[in-house]
Amino acid sequence: MNHIVELQNHNLKVTPQRLEIVDILYKNGHINVDDLYKSLQNKFPSLSLATIYKNINRMCEQLFLSEVKIPYQKNVYELTKKEHYHVICSKCNAIMDVDLDISNILNQAKSISNYSINNSSIVLNGLCPKCIS
């Protein structure tokens, strides 16, 4: 499925700016507002920050994008995909998606808290292989 169809499926009109945003997100995986703005300026010299914000907000509303909050860092955005979690390098800030089976901690949390739980945000901090050595 290409980017055009993906945007259409989320009720988002297909503009060149949006296509490029999707493209950057595919390549980067995760990006914050400012870096996204910088990445777009070559291709769209007249692009406005307001447009970035409007697009990010619109795309998040349509669940096409997800916002990821990382301790002590700016929020980053990613294309919405099946639930997953994040590992981030404290040195170089590389962010990696990880698939984890969290049924174990969900069970613990439910029995301790008596909350029902339907969403989980997990961000693990450490050093990536490159920065370890």
Partner DNA sequence: CTAAATGCAAAGCATTTGCAAATAT
Partner DNA sequence: ATATTTGCAAATGCTTTGCATTTAG
Partner in contact with 83, chosen from DNA, its own copies, none, beta carbon below 5 to 8 Å by kind = none
Residue 117 CA to residue 17 CA, distance in Å, equals 37
Task: Answer whether 77's CB lies under 8 Å from 31's CB.
Answer: yes
Q: Give the rounded distance of the alpha carbon of 24 from its chain centre.
A: 12
Partner in contact with 27, chosen from DNA, its own copies, none, beta carbon below 5 to 8 Å by kind = none
Cβ atoms within 10 A of the Cβ of 30, count? Answer: 21
Q: How far is the CB of 2 from DNA (least distance, A)?
A: 13
Under rule CB under 8 A, residue 79 binds its own copies: no
Under rule CB under 8 A, residue 87 binds its own copies: yes
Task: Answer whether 29's CB lies under 8 Å from 97's CB.
Answer: yes
Under rule CB under 8 A, residue 100 binds its own copies: yes
The residues of the shown chain that bind its own copies, judged by CB under 8 A, are: 67, 69-72, 85, 87, 89-90, 96, 98-102, 104-106, 108-109, 112-129, 132
